[in-house]
Amino acid sequence: MEPLLLPDRHASGIYGRGAVFEHVLDCLTIAIGGIDPSAAAEVVRFPPLVSRMTVERCGYLHYFPHLLGTVHSFTGTDREHARLVEAVDANQDWGAHQTLSDLVLTPAACYAAYPHLSGTLPADGRLLDVESWCFRQEATRAPSRMRSFRMREFVRLGQPEPVQAWRDTWMQRGLAFLTSLGLAPSIEPASDPFFGVGGRLLAVSQSEQALKFELIVDLDASTRVAVMSCNYHLEHFGEAFGIGLADGRLAHTACVGFGLERLALALLGAHGALPRQWPAGVRAVLGMA
Ligand code: ATP
Ligand code: ZN
Ligand code: MG
């Protein structure tokens, strides 16, 4: 049988995907779009790159410098090119011969959306449906912790109360969706992996304010991972990108993120490598029936 995933031979956390894996992932993306049919979300799909200015404004270098992947390119002269080639041929680090570009690898799908939302929101706010390949320079090598993966997110912007209520409703919707896929989810308070000593304080404060919850499922007999996260950002992105309310206050934002590769791995772990033989109820939810 063809492999589900083909690990890159020279770099951890990078995988090619076989037909079965990709089929499951495709079905998941359609099913996720149907979880809340009442909501008319604005759909945007982003490339795996975003402007460096966007992550600078989000504070990513302050909070998660260890996870960011940056894009560099060669901008030198003929003479500098000769030195670059010399370093490459000698198997030396040739990073110093490149220049930081205006792009970074997108670390989370919703980041690419906020710069488009600057200005004043309509009275009942906005709802977006975004997806992007994301990159994180993860430290561990488990297949559940890829360095390049797809994240689908719903993003809600508006007044504080409805935004927080929307996030809370999605925690219940997420539980119901994952249960319908036969994944036995649990919900847990969580915090982001902020860098350094100062980062520990930020993580404590995030937990105390109940800003992040993860929906966790079994990946295999010994591993449980987050396949969804439900995040309330208060006015962090409203402030960073000048997104305001009609009454002059800053907009609040929340996002619900689905890790598509992790979800596919959890389904394949729970029900086996042959989707044709999965329980009828699960196949129906995924539109496979
Ligand atoms: P974790 O605590 O597992 O590192 P996270 O808090 O970094 O997750 P979020 O930033 O909330 O994750 O991202 C939303 C979702 O994207 C996660 O719930 C997960 O399903 C998925 N995700 C995050 N990091 C990875 C990764 N390295 N590989 C695959 N999926 C990931
Ligand atoms: Zn997000
Ligand atoms: Mg993480």
Supply angle C-alpha 283, 285, 288, rounded to 5. 40
Which ligand gives the minimal distance to the CA of 262? 1
Is the distance from CB of 157 to CB of 244 less than 8 angstroms? no
Q: pLDDT by residue (tens digit) across 140-154? A: 888 999 999 999 999
Length of the chain: 289
Q: Is the CB of 151 under 6 A from ligand 1?
A: yes
| pTM given for the model | 0.96
d(CA 3, CA 20): 9
What pLDDT, in 10s, does the model give residues 216-232? Answer: 999 988 999 999 999 99
Rounded to the nearest angstrom, the distance between the alpha carbon of 7 and the centre of ligand 3 is 20
Token pair belonging to 118: 């600057």
15 within 8 A of 3, measured Cβ to Cβ: no
Indicate if ligand 1 lies below 6 Å from the C-beta of 256: no
The string of pLDDT tens digits covering residues 56-73 is 999 999 999 999 999 999
Q: Where are the alpha helices (DSSP H) in the chain?
A: 19-33, 52-58, 60-63, 78-89, 160-180, 196-208, 236-241, 260-271, 280-285
Cα-to-centroid distance, 174 and ligand 2 (Å): 15
CA distance 14 to 232: 30
Residue 260 corresponds to which tokens in the numbers above? 């598509």
- CB of 192 within 6 A of ligand 1: the answer is yes
Give me the chain's average pLDDT, please: 97
